[in-house]
Chain A
Amino acid sequence: QVQLVESGGGVVQPGGSLRLSCAASGFNFNTSAIHWVRQAPGKGLEWVSFIRDDGGDKYYADSVKGRLTISRDNSKNTLDLQMNSLRPEDTAVYFCAKEELRKGFFNLWGRGTLVTVSS
């Protein structure tokens, strides 16, 4: 089955850390760029980060640069997002999404995992 499944969300205090994971199945993960997109409660979609198929290039939104780190393990078909120095404004559902080969759009999404930053 072609799918992406996120995990690792939860409640964390401001300044704390959390590590999200995205497990891929049913497609060739090794040749796919994967992104993280988030959605704060009641708000719109915000692109967060992406990593190329070989892990060589990584990009981050200005709002998270220096605090979030994206990585992947092609041997395990998994993508991670290490989140440090978390702020209340990072509270959101985090989706992982597969990009159609270098076309700039997302043709497969996970169901998301909720991160709540609160004291």
Chain B
Amino acid sequence: SYVLTQPPSVSVAPGQTARITCEGNYIGSQSVHWYQQKPGQAPVLVVYVNSDRPSGIPERFSGSKSGNTATLTISRVEAGDEADYYCQVWDTDSGHHVFGSGTKVTVL
């Protein structure tokens, strides 16, 4: 089955930049979406179709893709950004959706 690999954790000081990667064999040809999940809450969409942002999501959140790696970048990190982040793609061949393994962002 298709696997999306993320680093288990990323630590960043307030005001600095956090970068979370998502690697997959076919990401180059897929749209990648990103979710933020805080403890005890449902996930929230923060980036869709590689780099678009839903209304209400701060401009500090941005997405990019290069080759088979997608990256979620959080600029000027705030304490409230501390959460788990997941990438996700839709494998149109199988009809299945796949989530990455998740990355815990810790604000120092």
* Chain A residues near B (Cβ < 8 Å): 35, 37, 44-47, 50, 57, 59, 61-62, 95, 100, 103-107, 109-112
A-B contact pairs, 19 of them (CB 8 A): A44-B84, A44-B86, A45-B99, A45-B102, A47-B96, A61-B96, A62-B1, A95-B42, A95-B43, A103-B31, A104-B97, A105-B48, A105-B49, A105-B90, A106-B33, A106-B45, A107-B45, A109-B42, A109-B44
* Given A95-B42, A112-B42, A46 and B49 contact (CB-CB distance below 8 Å): no
How far is A57 from B89 in the complex, measured between Cα atoms in Å?
A: 19
How far is A50 from B100 in the complex, measured between Cα atoms in Å?
A: 18
* Given A95-B42, A100-B48, A105 and B33 contact (CB-CB distance below 8 Å): yes
CB atoms of B97 and A47 under 8 A apart? yes
Number of interface residues of B (CB under 8 A): 28
How far is A109 from B92 in the complex, measured between Cα atoms in Å?
A: 22
How far is A21 from B54 in the complex, measured between Cα atoms in Å?
A: 27
How far is A54 from B21 in the complex, measured between Cα atoms in Å?
A: 36
CB atoms of B99 and A105 under 8 A apart? no
How far is A112 from B92 in the complex, measured between Cα atoms in Å?
A: 26
